[in-house]
Amino acid sequence: MNGLLCKSGFSISKVDRTAVNLPYEYIDEIRQELIKKICTEVEPKCAHQAIDLMFLVDSSGSVGETDYIALDFAFQCRKGVSFGSFLAILVYVLVYVCSFQEIYAISDRFLTITNAFYDKTKNWIKNMISSFNVGPKTTAVGLTQFTARIWDEFKLGEHTDKASINRAIDDMRYVKGKTGTGKALRHMAEHSLIETGGARKGVPKVLVLLTDGKADDDIAFGVDKLKNMGVYVFAVGIGDKVDLDQLTEIATHPTVTHMHNPDSFETINEFRKGLIDEICKETDPAPVCERADVDVAFLIDSSGSIHSQDYELMKKWLVDFTKNFAIGDYNAKFAIVQYAKKIESVFTFNDNKTDLAEAVSNMQQIRGQTFTGQALEFAKDQVFTEV
């Protein structure tokens, strides 16, 4: 059983769940945000949601390690070559300095390095998918690779379990070419994320773009079509070769939650959990925590610093909040404590759930001084005990 303590006062930060100053007339606006935070933390990610989740993978070869590999050519040949132009170094090394055997070894090393980053991308996608409940009535997954050409590795709903999806991802082959991002985005809108492409009517559509380079074509048409379709687009641009302005144009707004720019393929795992959370929230904007197994305690400031009308607003807010949960021994349970200088237990985890609204309605403001520390100690020692 999970335990959560909610203190009145009122706004919930997405980062640290702390309260900031908001007028009491706005407390209704944060109710769903708080509900989402609780649901996200105590339930498996997207466990019961229907989502059409599409991955669009740049396989063009614009890997941010190109400079390293080109320099490595010179070091592999062990010859002191120095030119002002980096390209001239590469041409000179390959044509005049390296032997045929050395060029073969360097090419093999290039493929090894490139495939290592490609394998990290494949593993990242598999780890992403592991957080979703894949099935005909829950999350459908599709994946397309692109260069200047487009390869549909598998369509939405083609695979109905994670094992077969993972096998399909393992079988993907790395391809090189130009970066036709605009063409690929248009393909998503006109083929992949429509019913003939496996998408389901009325189900939220999510597109995760993975790229490590700048688009060689125009992206505007595809971006506009996807936005007009209501597709949630998350743009992940890896390394310093990406065009951040392009990623901003592609990603759904706000870009702070829909665009990511990790330094390299080595760091793409650092934001995966946050990305999954955002996908879950986007596709389930007003969750009802019917299956949440959680103990939630409210600590209500009932001192004289609270105006009478604000106190009544808090009471109404509490009742409205609890209506979003299935309350019971194997679902959510609530406790309510109000405090000033003294502490009053209004409702406990053991009380009959049908009496909660009445208990809140009967609450009377205590008034007096505000002893918050004492109330927190009470919650720790008396409220969250085994029942």
Contact between 101 and 81 under an 8 Å Cβ cutoff? The reply is: no
pLDDT at position 337 is 95
Residue after which a domain boundary falls, among 233, 266, 283: 283
Cα 28 to the chain's mean position, in Å? Answer: 25
**Which residues span the domain enclosing 299?**
2-43+289-383
Contact between 301 and 11 under an 8 Å Cβ cutoff? The reply is: no
Tell me how far CA of residue 59 lies from CA of 98, 110, 159, 197, 213, in angstroms. 29, 15, 22, 21, 10
pLDDT at position 378 is 93
| Cis previous bond, 221, omega within 30 | no
Same domain membership, residue 261 and residue 185: yes
Smallest CA-to-CA distance from 250 within 292, 283, 217 is with 217
pLDDT at position 94 is 44
Same domain membership, residue 17 and residue 102: no
Same domain membership, residue 141 and residue 248: yes
Question: Average pLDDT by consecutive 10-residue portion of the chain (387 residues)?
Answer: 47 43 59 63 61 89 43 41 44 45 39 61 90 89 93 94 94 85 96 94 93 90 95 90 91 88 78 83 64 83 93 89 79 91 92 85 94 93 77
Same domain membership, residue 33 and residue 91: no
Give the DSSP letter of residue 33.
Answer: H
Same domain membership, residue 56 and residue 75: no
254 CB contacts (<8 Å, ≥6 apart)?
none
Burial class (CB in 10 A: 0-12, 13-18, 19+), 216: middle
How many Å from the N-terminal Cα to the C-terminal Cα in the chain? 11
Three-class SS of 105-172 = HHHHHHHHHHHHHHHHHHHHHHHHHCCCCECCCCEEEEEEEECCCEEEEECCCCCCCHHHHHHHHHCC
In this structure, is the dihedral angle defined by the CA atoms of residues 252, 281, 129 and 157, taken in order, positive or negative? negative
CATH number of domain containing 152: 3.40.50.410
Same domain membership, residue 204 and residue 91: no
Cα–Cα distance measured from residue 154 to residue 97, given in angstroms and rounded to the nearest whole number: 45
pLDDT at position 165 is 95
Cα–Cα distance measured from residue 129 to residue 214, given in angstroms and rounded to the nearest whole number: 26
Same domain membership, residue 272 and residue 220: yes
Domain count, the chain: 3
Helix, strand, coil content of the chain in percent (nearest 5): 45, 15, 40
Contact between 326 and 289 under an 8 Å Cβ cutoff? The reply is: yes
| Other C-beta atoms lying within 10 Å of the C-beta of residue 139 | 25
Smallest CA-to-CA distance from 350 within 307, 383, 310, 304 is with 383
Same domain membership, residue 128 and residue 240: yes
State residue 135 phi and psi, 5-degree precision: 175, 170
Same domain membership, residue 195 and residue 57: yes
Same domain membership, residue 261 and residue 146: yes
Contact between 48 and 201 under an 8 Å Cβ cutoff? The reply is: no
Pull the structure tokens for residue 21: 């100053």
Cα–Cα distance measured from residue 212 to residue 179, given in angstroms and rounded to the nearest whole number: 9
| Other C-beta atoms lying within 10 Å of the C-beta of residue 108 | 10
Q: What number of CA atoms fall less than 13 Å from residue 366's CA on the CB side?
A: 18
pTM of the predicted structure, to 2 decimals? 0.58
Same domain membership, residue 222 and residue 101: no
Same domain membership, residue 89 and residue 20: no
Smallest CA-to-CA distance from 118 within 53, 58, 188, 185 is with 58
Pull the structure tokens for residue 148: 């200047």
Pull the structure tokens for residue 182: 């605009």
Cα–Cα distance measured from residue 104 to residue 27, given in angstroms and rounded to the nearest whole number: 67
Cα–Cα distance measured from residue 199 to residue 283, given in angstroms and rounded to the nearest whole number: 15
| Other C-beta atoms lying within 10 Å of the C-beta of residue 93 | 23
Residue after which a domain boundary falls, among 283, 304, 322: 283
